[in-house]
Amino acid sequence: MCENPIGPGVVKTQNGYRFSVWAPNAKSVSLTGDFNDWNRPGISMRRQDNGVWCCETDDAKGGHEYKYEITNAQGDCVLKNDPRARLMTNSVGNSVIYDDCFKWEVEDFKPVPIHQRIIYELHIGTFHRKNGEQGTFDTAIEKLDSLASLGINMIELMPVNEFAGDISWGYNPACPFAVEEAYGGPDGLKRFIDAAHKLGIGVIMDVVYNHFGPSDLDIWQFDGWSENDKGGIYFYNDERSSTPWGDTRPDYGRQEVRDYITDNAMMWLQEFKADGLRMDMVPFMRTISGADSGEDDIPEAYELIKGINGRIQQACAEKMTIAEDLHQHDYITNLVDEGGCGYTAQWDAAFVHPVREVLTQSNDENVNLDVLVSALCKQYSGNAFSRVVYTESHDEVANGKARLVEEIAPGNVDDDYFARQKGMLAATLVLTSAGIPMLFQGQEFKETGWFNDTKDLDWSRQESFGEYLKAISRLVQLRKGESKATSGLTGSRTDIVHCDNENKVLGYRRSNGIENESVWIYLHVANDELDNYQLSNLPAEPYSLFAWADGVSTQSIEINNGNVKLPPFGIFILTERSNKDS
């Protein structure tokens, strides 16, 4: 188990609660709330040598709302929310005393081994909306059976920290320790994680440490001190504060801020029993501009990152951390002891961008299989599972971009032949490549358009595109490698066995190092039919695990001395016949 995070906040005592808050430049601090009828000045707090102010009261009860009354050095007084509040009435409301009385049904969940993990990224607000209302943790729970049936064993939640308003992607954290009340608050998140664990599904939390806010941000100039009219004690107050989301980069050089972020990371893993973290836009932690030129590095950010990953690996090694870095450096996933940042894996820009580029070509002559070969064979840190491979994520399907099938057939996804065929090619590449595969919500039933935090996920498409869903589900089941016939897909080795750039036919073999446990994948990335086509380097006695032709999945294909009839955008996945019953 992870150790308990340590830091200021609210702690239950024998008869009441102890409150502590870091405000080193305050002239005085007091506490006010429901327990004293919001009288001001409130309960006086004592300053400690480390700049933390403390008090205890027996009048406070769980569920009471409260704030800190901070008087700055100039004598001005403001009310501020607790930076470590676990619950808020809303992002501009009050802090709430949260008693953790949740009864977990699954105490010691362990996710499947990393080589079998399949991630599904989802957004609570849109994943399952009912009656036109915002989605919640509880409505999302109602659809977990669908993910379990699909074969998903890891969920990545877009951020659920308290954000400005009730509708958001979540990447504007107003109160980093509080869980969005519109989603169901901390108990709602615990219900969701517990329900996922009961189905054998782990949960990864998306966290944002490259900036806070920028709106509804009570930690801004928290104790009245700032320089250059910037953010005060939680933020850089010079040029390092600048981010695309305002002057809101945390001051990674202050130990108290480092503790704040580290304790937040550990909170998700310990208090909420999450199974990992995905850190948003790490380049904007490591550098001022995010350009990664080496000219504006922030050295203390590297130390913070290493500290968080090192602590997680020491305290709870089964948890994973994922970097959205996209600059393709080995040091992101190299071990901390070897000078690396220590992430388990990184989102792989060397996969998503070239694969989408190939599949969105409207002219077959422009398809370059060498681009796919590079994407298939890329590794970081000498480890095939140090990368997350995907063709859709919240970033890839918004901000001027759309879902892959929408890019292929704008406004006509449902009826378009190319959207259907290339969408399946994309899923096959993701689910048969070495790495940790990831799907984005709705990808399994060919969801259209682009991601919008007010647009419902259209679950009726499960029925409308049942054959497509069935094929994706089959690919997911194969990727889990639970039999001798499919275990090669969980291996780290990829060998290119066929590359015909003239006819646009690519073949590769996946293996786990065990003799006779390989899987062969052959893809036709063009819109023509090839009769009596010779596939090279086939298994000695090929047995079909999956085939896709003209919108239908099947396991029935004919191979005569290596010759096949290869349909447009056809897919064949094969193993040795001797493995078929294993």
Catalytic residues: 280, 324
Provide φ and ψ at 66, rounded to 5°: -160, 165
CA atoms of 287 and 224, how far apart (whole Å): 27
Q: Find the angle CA(416)-CA(418)-CA(424) to the nearest 5 degrees.
A: 110
Lookup: tokens for 537: 């380097």
Does residue 81 contact residue 220 with C-beta atoms inside 8 Å?
A: no
Cα separation, 422 vs 390, whole angstroms: 14
Contacts within 8 Å (CB) and 24+ apart, 137-145: 137/183, 137/184, 137/188, 137/189, 137/191, 137/192, 138/184, 138/188, 138/191, 138/192, 140/192, 141/191, 141/192, 141/195, 143/459, 144/195, 144/196, 144/199, 144/201, 145/199
**Residue 511 three-state SS:** strand
What residues contact residue 391 under an 8 Å CB cut-off, 6+ apart?
Answer: 352, 355, 356, 359, 404, 426, 427, 429, 430
Q: Which two tokens stand for residue 490?
A: 């969980």
Distances (CA, A) of 305 to 240, 258, 279, 374: 17, 9, 10, 29
d(CA 557, CA 560): 10
**How many angstroms separate the CA atoms of 337 and 318, rounded?**
18
Q: How far apart are CA 321 and CA 318, in angstroms?
A: 10
Q: Can you spell out the DSSP letters for 111-156?
A: PPPGGG--EEEE-HHHHT--TTPPP-HHHHHTTHHHHHHHT--EEE
Q: What is the DSSP letter of 58?
A: S
What is the C-alpha to C-alpha distance for residues 238 and 503, in angstroms, rounded to an integer?
57
CB 127 within 8 A of CB 135: yes
Distance CA(555)–CA(263), nearest Å, equals: 50
Torsion-angle region of 358 (φ positive above 0: left; ψ -120 to 50: alpha; else: beta): alpha
Q: How many other C-beta atoms lie within 10 A of the C-beta of residue 426?
A: 25
